[in-house]
Amino acid sequence: MDILQAIARRRSIRSFKPDQISDEILTKVLMAAQAAPSAGNRQAREIVIVRDYAVKVALTEAAFHQFFLQEAPVDLVFCANPGKSQQRYGERGHDLYCILDTAASIQNVLLAAQAFGLGSCWVGAFNEEAVREALELPEEVRPITLIPIGYPNEQPDPTTRLSLEEFVHAEHYGQPWRKML
Ligand SMILES: Cc1cc2nc3c(=O)[nH]c(=O)nc-3n(C[C@H](O)[C@H](O)[C@H](O)COP(=O)(O)O)c2cc1C
């Protein structure tokens, strides 16, 4: 699938078929995470793959009963590793770059999943401590996002977006930008 098509067609999917994802496809999706940019190439991110139903249920509870997390065949838990960034970039690395490294890999995964006909959803609303407990995460990694992935059981309508004029500025903040295309 063309990259622009994948970007345009991606939707958050919150209902999944029971079909499993092959190891081959899952590996390719994970390679998209691996390929994402990161500050100073520190790659201050880690991913936990969850297929076990009991653990998926624990994640669902941690995420305030977002049921589709236990319905999906796989949940990927994206974590930041602040210490890795802090070593080189200090506070900015600890507070910001590791989160951005993680976010860049998340977006790659959403698009790669889309390219394989899979659905996914970025889940940010969860209790960090509960996720830590469910996955026995070490203190040095911080859970950032849960991504359920599976074959879609729904075809949601596109969601709305601000127009370019509403969030793109010309030269100085607040100066209206006029469409160039
Ligand atoms: C940081 C972040 C946190 C989000 N958290 C949740 C969440 O907890 N639950 C959920 O169902 N969707 C969540 N979403 C998905 C958004 O609701 C969704 O991307 C947005 O409504 C636009 O819809 P679309 O992805 O279909 O284009 C989150 C997205 C982002 C980027």
145 phi/psi in degrees, rounded to 5: -155, 145
**pLDDT tens digits for the chain (181 residues)?**
689 999 999 999 999 999 999 999 999 999 999 999 999 999 999 999 999 999 999 999 999 999 999 999 999 999 999 999 999 999 999 999 999 999 999 999 999 999 999 999 999 999 999 999 999 999 999 999 999 999 999 999 999 999 998 999 988 888 888 876 6
CA distances from 3 to 30, 108, 150 (A): 17, 11, 20
Distance (angstroms) between ligand 1 centre and the Cα of 5 equals 20
CA distance 19 to 11: 19
Distance (angstroms) between ligand 1 centre and the Cα of 177 equals 27
Residue closest via CA to ligand 1's atom 6 equals 123
